[in-house]
Structure 1
Amino acid sequence: MKAKNNTKVIYITILISLIFSIIPLPIALDAYRPNWALLVLCYWSMALPNRLGVLTAWLVGLLLDVLLGSVLGINAFALAMVIYVMVNNYQTIRNFSLWQQSLIIGLFTALYHLLVFWIQRFVFGVDFSMTYLIPVVTSASLWWVIFLLLRKIRRQFKVR
C-alpha cells in the first residue's frame, strides 16, 4: 500500500470504532459496552503519537457527541484530555507489558468516564452510580485484543 494511503487505515479503524459505539445492544448488555473509540484512539496515539493527537481525539469526540445525541463537547473534551495524557506518556506506556497496559487503559477509561460524569453533573445534575464505571472493566479487559489486532493491521498496511 502506498504511503499516502496509510493514513486512511487509521481513519477507517476510527470509523469502525464509532460504528461499534452506536450499534444497538440489548438493554442488559448496553451497560457493558466498552469505549471502542477511546481504545482505538489510545492505540494509535501510543503507536504513532506524531500522527494522532489531541485535535484528532477532540474531533472524534465531537463526532461521538453527534452520534450519541449528547451535549456537544462533552465526549470531545474527555477524549482530548485522555489522549493528551496518553501522548505525553506514550514512551513509558509502550514499554509496559500488555496486562500492565490494560491497567493503564482502565485508569484512562475511568478518567474519561469521570470527566464525562463531572460535566453532566454540572450541566444536568445527574447522580453517580457505580454501574457507570462498568465499561472501565470491559475496556481494560479488551485492550489486549484491540492492541494485537491494530498492531497486526498497522504492520500489514505498513502504517508509519
Structure 2
Amino acid sequence: MGDNFIYISSRQVRWLIVLSFVFALILDSINIIGQNYLFLPPFTLLVLLYWAGHFLDYTYMGTAFAIGLFADTIYQNTLGVHALIYVVLTFAMLRHRLRFRGYTIWQQSLNIVGFCFIYQIMHLFTLAPKLDDQQQLAYWIMPLVGGVLWALIALSLNRLSQQNVTEN
C-alpha cells in the first residue's frame, strides 16, 4: 500500500486534493440538517488525515487549521474549536505517518477509529453537546463508522491519485 506513493508528489495531485476537500465540506454540511446524522464522521477530517498520511512533502498543518475554520463556520461553532482539534490530530498523524503508510487498509482503519475516538473526546470537552440516550449511541458509534468509511475513502483516493499521476 505505502510503496505506491513514494514517487507521487502532492503537487502532482493538487487539484484532486482541493476537490476532495470541497467534496468533504459538502458532505459535512449534511450534519447541519439535524441530529439524526451524529453517526457520520467529519469527512474533512478523514480526507485531511488521508492526505497528511500519504504525502511526505507537505505537512498540512496550515490546511488543517483552514479546514477547521471552515468546519467551525459550517457547524456555527466557536471559531477555532475544530481548527484546534484538526491541528492536534494532524500533528498526531504526522508523528507516525511513515508507519501508517505501510499498514494495510484495515490496519489503517483501526488507527482511524482511534483518531475519530480522540476527535469525539476533544469535541465533547470543548463543545459539550447536549445529547439524549439515543443520540449518545449515535455519537459514540461515529468512530466505528469512520473506520469503515476510511476504507472507502482511502481506496478511492488511492485510485484517483494514481490515475492522475499516470495521466500527467
**Same topology, TM > 0.5:** yes
- Are the equivalent residues in 1 in contact too, given 2:25–2:43 (CA < 8 A)? yes
1:83 partner amino acid: T
Alignment correspondent of 1:44 = 51
Equivalent residue in structure 1 for 2:89, among 82, 88, 95: 82
Q: CA deviation at 1:53?
A: 1.8
Is 1:119 aligned to 2:155, yes or no? no
- 1:1-80 alignment runs, 5 A limit: 6-23=13-30, 27=34, 29-80=36-87
- SS of the equivalent of 1:157 reads helix
Tell me whether 62-71 or 128-137 shows the greater mean CA deviation. Answer: 128-137
Moved over 6 A (4+): none
CA deviations on 1:8-50 (whole Å, 9 max, x unpaired) are 2211101100100002687574122122111111110111142
> Structure 1's 22 and 82: CA in aligned 2 closer, same or farther, altered over 3 A?
same
Gaps of 5+ in 2: 1-9
Quick one: distance in 2 between partners of 1:93 and 1:156?
A: 22
Q: CA deviation at 1:132?
A: 2.3
1:139 partner amino acid: G
Quick one: distance in 2 between partners of 1:112 and 1:43?
A: 15
Is 1:138 aligned to 2:145, yes or no? yes
- Are the equivalent residues in 1 in contact too, given 2:110–2:147 (CA < 8 A)? yes
Q: CA deviation at 1:115?
A: 1.1
Is 1:93 aligned to 2:97, yes or no? no
- Are the equivalent residues in 1 in contact too, given 2:120–2:140 (CA < 8 A)? yes
Quick one: distance in 2 between partners of 1:80 and 1:25?
A: 22
- Are the equivalent residues in 2 in contact too, given 1:17–1:37 (CA < 8 A)? yes
CA deviations on 1:54-84 (whole Å, 9 max, x unpaired) are 2111110011101111111111111111110
Aligned length: 154
Alignment correspondent of 2:5 = none
1:91 partner amino acid: L
- Are the equivalent residues in 2 in contact too, given 1:53–1:87 (CA < 8 A)? no
TM-score where L is the length of structure 2: 0.81
Q: CA deviation at 1:6?
A: 3.1
Alignment correspondent of 2:116 = 109
Gaps of 5+ in 1: none
Identity of aligned residues (%): 24
The alignment's C-alpha RMSD in Å is 2.5
